[in-house]
Amino acid sequence: MDFSLILFIALVATGAITLWDRIARKSDQGIVDGTERKEPWLIEYSKAFFPVILVVFLLRSFIVEPFRIPSGSMLPNLHIGDFILVNKFSYGIRLPVINKKVIDTSAPERGDVMVFRFPHDPSINFIKRVIGLPGDKIEYKEKNLYLNGEQVKTEPMGEFDFQEVSQNKYVGKRYLETLDSNMHEIIVDPNKRTTKTSYAVPEGHYFVMGDNRDHSNDSRYWGFVPEKNIIGRAFFIWFSWDLEGSGDLAWERIGNSVN
């Protein structure tokens, strides 16, 4: 079950009990023969947890929501074990649980790191970089990205060693990619073959890719992200474990912004 739905159910339940207690129970019912009578545990816990659940629900629904990076598809910018914060109002105010937009703020831009519900299973959250906007023509050939007929600029930056958890190690080539005004690093694996592919982004949808281009399950394989599936824009790393190495805290990553 979706955590937002669980939180909403808990909020409604504790709120209803708290409200019932305030309306139905008279103030003198708590005193018997000059001594205070202990409230039933359900009422006591509901009154204690309701304000906490309310604050958490409002924060997660409308301001920021935490997520954990489970794979290396966004390397070298996001590592396995990174815990990030996602801005929930960057792309509009949405009603919690049903994820329906009620207020427009701004739309995703090329280069944004976006969190969204996987189109083929909305219970799973994905994080990728926005490459194509509605109406764009995307082409990917020989490990080069083309946007509306123009090759996206990249500059070589050396190599990058990486090993997925419980998988083989590989050495990728590192590049600095410039997408509109956004500059970010990407990795390509010279040992993995790619085929020429082209896409036309339909209205109301976005084309996304992982920065670890040859080790990412993205729009090249399962299609476009509908606007209704968008959750928000990733912007901050608030905690990190070095799961690819020592397993200790990755202090150097904590506090970094997501570029």
From 46, 61, 73, 219, the catalytic residue: 73
226 touches 200 (CB < 8 A) = no
d(C-alpha 128, C-alpha 224), whole Å:
12
Q: Which of 205, 114, 111, 113 is nearest to 152 (CA)?
A: 111
Catalytic residue among 128, 216, 219, 240: 128
| DSSP 8-state symbol, 78 | S
Q: Is residue 44 within 8 Å of 59, Cβ to Cβ?
A: no
* 128 labelled catalytic: yes
d(CA 208, CA 133): 9
Phi/psi of residue 251, nearest 5 degrees: -60, -35
Identify whether 73 is a catalytic site residue.
yes
Asked if 153 and 177 touch (Cβ cutoff 8 Å), the reply is: yes
Active site (catalytic) residues: 73, 128
